[in-house]
Amino acid sequence: MTDIREFMTSWAPGDGSSMIAWSNRKKESLRGTATGKRKPPDLRPFDLIKAPHQSVGLLANPDMRVSVDSAAGPAPIFHRNIDFDTVIVQFAGNCRVENEMSVEQLAAGEVLLIPRGIAHRSIGDANALRMIVHLKSPVTQHMGEELCTSRTQFDIRRVGGPDYSAAAAAKPQTGAVIEKMFVWDEDPADAVQVRRVAEELIGVTSTEREKKLSAVKKLRPFDLFTDITGRKGPGPKVMSSAFSLMEVYNTVGEQFAFHRALDSEEFGLQFMGVNTNMSEFEEGRVMSPGDWFLIPLGIAHSVKDCKPDFRRMVLYSRFPFEVLAKPSMHAHESRFEVRENVLEPAPWHSEARELAAAGA
């Protein structure tokens, strides 16, 4: 039997988890020892997508809704999300997001925060795949460019996926367009539709009366690391609200302890690297780029076999999730090859390689 520590957390608004207790456990007792209906299904989110600009719901709770989509080609409408914020996580490909405050180019590994009330549409290349997070409670804090320690580009190739090049070749509509207004508690099928002119919805809005300032923020989460994660505390915070938190991880080797959360659930998107998730529900689950996991309330979990290329995004929510998708919905069986091009390295890049060489 192998000794391992476990840390148990509660929820602290704006800060995410707060410590409650440390325990001394045996690792074998925390791996695959639980059964129950709350065991989440194994999903490959991007293989659930059936057509461009048709999002597929993954998770929902009273504060957060998570979906995935392909943004190949122009979106057929402008979205105006009235009473919730939108976070676009670009996983693969490139995408232009035209919105009332700006026009943003999103590359793989970048995140766009669009505050509530701001109309937007996306126009992506054939490979553009995203995770979309809608937040009822407003984002109150997000990382700034000044906190980035490195500059990284990602090249992500999908192997075995559908060909969306025909959709991507279409030109975005100019002139008359439709805007749909989405309200959190309204069935999207009942969304109000408004006749607009495309040019009147792009770059026309500012947070200031007299000068041009945009509240739409592009973030580079994987350039935010100051250290190797998984050795003591949590990863760097990308953004947070009263009931949610986004963090990123670059762990090498094995996480120092198991985590058990009493007042929050977490889910993660494996961005790069192959590793093994462990939890009371799973003795070991191999995670590859594009894979996704959910840790239900109260379930102890950890990760091992992380190489220097480990890049993972984790979102925490104060409320338990309903899982909206199931394995029978997979439409494809694809995998992703990810290459990282570090244009400006940070000290942790070489430290990660040294740790791995030393057998961390």
Binding site for Fe ion (CB under 5 A): 259
Q: How far apart are CA 354 and CA 331, in angstroms?
A: 41
Closest contact distance (angstroms) between CB of 230 and Fe ion is 10
Residue 140 burial (CB count, 10 A): 11
Closest contact distance (angstroms) between CB of 108 and Fe ion is 25
Name the residue nearer to Fe ion (CB basis): 32 or 117: 32
Name the residue nearer to Fe ion (CB basis): 217 or 259: 259
CA quadruple 216, 107, 315, 66: dihedral sign: positive
Closest contact distance (angstroms) between CB of 75 and Fe ion is 34
Residue 23 burial (CB count, 10 A): 14
Closest contact distance (angstroms) between CB of 320 and Fe ion is 15
Name the residue nearer to Fe ion (CB basis): 129 or 239: 239
Give the strand pairing for 176-182 and 78-81. Answer: parallel
Closest contact distance (angstroms) between CB of 19 and Fe ion is 13
Residue nearest to Fe ion (CB): 259
Q: How far apart are CA 325 and CA 41, in angstroms?
A: 8
Name the residue nearer to Fe ion (CB basis): 55 or 279: 279
Name the residue nearer to Fe ion (CB basis): 237 or 259: 259
Closest contact distance (angstroms) between CB of 255 and Fe ion is 9
Name the residue nearer to Fe ion (CB basis): 128 or 287: 287
Contacts for 191 with CB less than 8 Å, ≥ 6 apart: 180, 181, 182, 183
